[in-house]
Amino acid sequence: MNPVKIIDFLRDRCRLLAWIGFVVFAILAAVDAVPSVIDKAHAHTEAEKTPLFWPLFGFVGCALIIILSKAFGHAGIMKREDFYDE
């Protein structure tokens, strides 16, 4: 088995994979949005019972982490690689 061939095979079908990804996202969102599909009795808090809570949590959380961290970094935390060189 040559893993490179498999990865190249998948990369050549990027557009198809993206569509499959969208379908998966839609299914996951639907699973969450339709109340009776998943029993939310195990939810820790009431807030989690809001439709699309965890998908939005993941997406917004990821965006916030990237944007705020980069803003913090560019506010003077990130320095040239030779910053500590003497």
41 binds other proteins (CB under 8 A): yes
Residue with tokens 């050549």: 12
Q: Quick one: which of 9, 15, 36, 77 contacts other proteins (CB under 8 A)?
A: 77
30 binds other proteins (CB under 8 A): no
DSSP 50-64: STTHHHHHHHHHHHH
- The token pair that represents 26 in the structure block: 């839609």
Nearest to 54 by CA among 71, 78, 70, 31: 31
CA 14 to chain centre: 18
15 binds other proteins (CB under 8 A): no
The binding track of 45-74 with respect to other proteins, each residue x by CB under 8 A or -, is x-xx-----xxxxxxxxxx-xxxxxx-xx-
- Positions touching other proteins (CB under 8 A) are 2-4, 7, 21, 24-25, 28-29, 31-32, 38-45, 47-48, 54-63, 65-70, 72-73, 76-81, 83-84, 86
